[in-house]
Amino acid sequence: MSAIVNKLAVTTIDPAVISFYRWLLALIILTPIVLPGVIGNRQAVRVNGWKLLVLGLLGMVLYQSLAYYAAHSVCALFMGIIASLIPLLTILISLALLRSAPTVDVVLGSVLSFSGMIWLISAGQPGALLQQGIGKGELMMLAATFSYALYGVLTKRWNIALPNWRSLYVQILFAVVLLLPEFLLAQDIVLDSHNIPMVLFAGIPASIIAPFLWVQGVMRLGANTAAIFMNLTPVFTAIIAVLFLHEQLHSYHLLGGGITLLGVILSQCLTT
């Protein structure tokens, strides 16, 4: 759903502006609920401050901002499929940090996903990439996906001694500060009837409700099982994009996206 909103926001609000407003809104809503607990854990916040800053940069600033900018030149279908690479990239980054050799299952899944991604990016003409290269929007979305995968790996690796919401609150606080300079440089920061719904969706359902539901799902199903449900993201994105954005579903979307998703599922199922 985020890919759909990113695409809708293209003509109504600057990427730097919606990035800042969404996290500012989330910060304002969470402050009376979470801030007292953060103050109570101020020692842990002080000790882990630089880690929370890095997480805020990766998960809130780079991932979201790059996705908003990418939406100016790539379709929501593409964004949804590339975002499905997050679980696979998480596995690969974890292996790199642990300096361990990937299993045959991960290698096979990676090759499949990479092949599907090449087919998707080239619109079914892989040879064209040698002449034209990868577009700026595609690179931005790939960078955004890598950023969020690294965010997930570091979150688990660091295991910061703070309750989830308090950790998230401090990350959002850092994100607002980091996003402020670009927001101030934007040409138009005015909110109106056209872009307010975008900010409200990004700031409340996407930034507060969705993380809460995800945590609840992980607690009840386990991280491995919950992660598999992420593979439904490109499916729902494709359905909504075709029905409401009137995007064209081409054969290379189905083939490239299907191969990419198969590689991700293969890596997940055989490594759990």
Please give the residue that has the higher pLDDT: either 144 or 91.
Answer: 144
Angle at 143 between CA 112 and CA 58, to 5 degrees: 120
At residue 27, the pLDDT reads: 96
What's the predicted TM-score (pTM) here? 0.84
By the 8 A CB rule, do 63 and 223 touch?
no
Q: pLDDT per residue over 82-137, tens digit each?
A: 887 787 788 788 888 877 666 777 777 777 877 877 777 777 777 665 666 677 88
Confidence bin at 269 (pLDDT 50/70/90):
low
pLDDT at 152 over 70: yes
CA distances to 7, 139, 179, 254 from 15, rounded to whole Å, are: 11, 16, 11, 29
Separation CA 95–CA 101 (nearest Å): 7
Q: pLDDT per residue over 11-69, tens digit each?
A: 788 989 999 999 999 999 999 999 999 999 999 999 999 999 999 999 899 998 898 88
By the 8 A CB rule, do 184 and 32 touch?
no
Tokens of 186: 């934007």
At residue 250, the pLDDT reads: 76
pLDDT (average), residues 210-236: 67
**In 3-state terms, what secondary structure has residue 70?**
helix
Residue boundaries of the structural domains of the chain: 2-271
